[in-house]
A = this chain, B = another copy of it.
């Protein structure tokens, strides 16, 4: 991909599907297997949902800027918001033994992505960068078979 593909959506759950659709198409073009495509879409979606819920505290009139790049078989997504900054070191994926609603989003993100890093060294908001090596996964899937 010469240039990253960027998409900006309002901080409204209604528009999460617009981003998912674009991402699914990007990954399909990259000839990723369907399962991995769905998993990556899930991670991005969960991160955007959290921006709406926590960064913007449910306010729907802000923006979420998402950028996608695939370089040397590494998928990189950046999610920028201009909402409340949090101590991101404190949000932990929850323990699955305790079945309750909530806490699963960050679990999915950490389980699926190779790297997840939040940066709040900006005047406003957060930049979340997540990466996934697309080749490794396919090798792993083959090994598991």
Contacts and interface: CB of A to CB of B under 8 A. Distances in A.
Interface of A: 1-10, 12, 14-15, 17-19, 21-22, 24-26, 29, 60-63
Nearest to A62: B3
Contacts of A5: 7-10, 15, 18
Contacts of A63: 3
List the 7 closest A-B pairs by CB distance, nearest first. Answer: A6-B8, A2-B61, A3-B10, A22-B22, A21-B25, A18-B25, A21-B21
B22 A61 contact: no
Given A22-B21, A24-B21, A29-B14, A6 B6 contact: yes
A12 B2 contact: yes
A122 to B, nearest CB: 19
A91 to B, nearest CB: 26
A76 to B, nearest CB: 15
Given A2-B12, A2-B60, A12-B2, A7 B22 contact: yes
Contacts of A6: 6-8
A26 B25 CA distance: 15
Nearest to A67: B8
A29 B15 contact: yes
A70 to B, nearest CB: 12
A10 B29 CA distance: 14
